[in-house]
């Protein structure tokens, strides 16, 4: 087969895989088969045997997802000064547990010390509807063998909700995590 054709076919397959992983799954359509079809390529080593994932862990995640009341209040920690917030890129990783909204990721994706060397830690608060959440990625986060909310050491687990990319959200409050004081900042932004 022609070398250029092979490269072109590999690019098409990679693009389709990326498109499949990045297409949000609605909660009403979420079942093990359509979820696993998207996430089967990810590294599940370290997780229980697949039968356990399908028979126990996924149903637990689905039950948890369906237990939320909407609109759902969410929080996100950011390592910025208020004037440095990027309203057009507020991020998709949020939590429904306020005390777990921590700032610990740098822009390069490296985990930093919880003491936050920048010295700024803001907490953003919003409310979202069921359709604002990427349920496939949220369940994927909950079942992550290393830090998943339902799957790992409770002290290390992340209680994460993954919002869809580029959706409009209204920030209802911004407060300083150190002082707990509201900065009385409200605005509309994008994830």
- Summarised one tens digit per residue, pLDDT across range 70-93 is 999 999 998 888 888 888 999 999
Residue 38 lies in a domain: yes
How far from 42 is each of 39, 56, 140, CA to CA, in Å?
6, 19, 10
Domain that holds residue 123: 25-190
Digit-coded pLDDT (tens) for 88-144? 999 999 999 998 888 765 444 455 444 455 567 899 999 999 999 999 999 888 887
Residue 133 lies in a domain: yes
Digit-coded pLDDT (tens) for 139-159? 888 887 667 767 555 665 678
Residue 20 lies in a domain: no
Residue 1 lies in a domain: no
Digit-coded pLDDT (tens) for 26-76? 888 888 888 888 877 666 555 555 667 777 888 888 998 999 999 999 999
Number of domains in the chain: 1
Residue 183 lies in a domain: yes
Instruction: Report percent pLDDT > 70 for the chain.
Output: 69
Residue 63 lies in a domain: yes
Residue 97 lies in a domain: yes
Residue 47 lies in a domain: yes
């Amino acid at each position: 087969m022609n070398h250029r054709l092979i490269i072109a076919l590999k690019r098409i397959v990679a693009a389709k895989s990326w498109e499949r992983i990045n297409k949000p799954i609605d909660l009403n359509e979420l079942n093990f088969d359509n979820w696993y079809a998207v996430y089967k390529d990810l590294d599940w080593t370290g997780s229980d045997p697949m039968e356990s994932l399908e028979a126990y862990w996924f149903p637990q995640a689905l039950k948890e997802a369906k237990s939320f009341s909407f609109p759902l209040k969410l929080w996100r920690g950011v390592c910025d000064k208020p004037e440095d917030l990027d309203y057009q890129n507020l991020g998709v990783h949020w939590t429904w547990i306020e005390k777990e909204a921590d700032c610990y990721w740098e822009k390069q994706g490296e985990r930093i010390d919880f003491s936050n060397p920048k010295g700024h830690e803001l907490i953003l608060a919003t409310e979202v509807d069921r359709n604002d959440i990427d349920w496939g990625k949220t369940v994927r986060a909950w079942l992550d063998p290393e830090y998943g909310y339902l799957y790992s050491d409770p002290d290390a687990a992340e209680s994460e909700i993954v919002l869809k990319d580029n959706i409009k959200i209204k920030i209802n409050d911004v407060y300083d995590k150190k002082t707990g004081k509201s900065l009385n900042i409200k605005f509309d932004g994008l994830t």
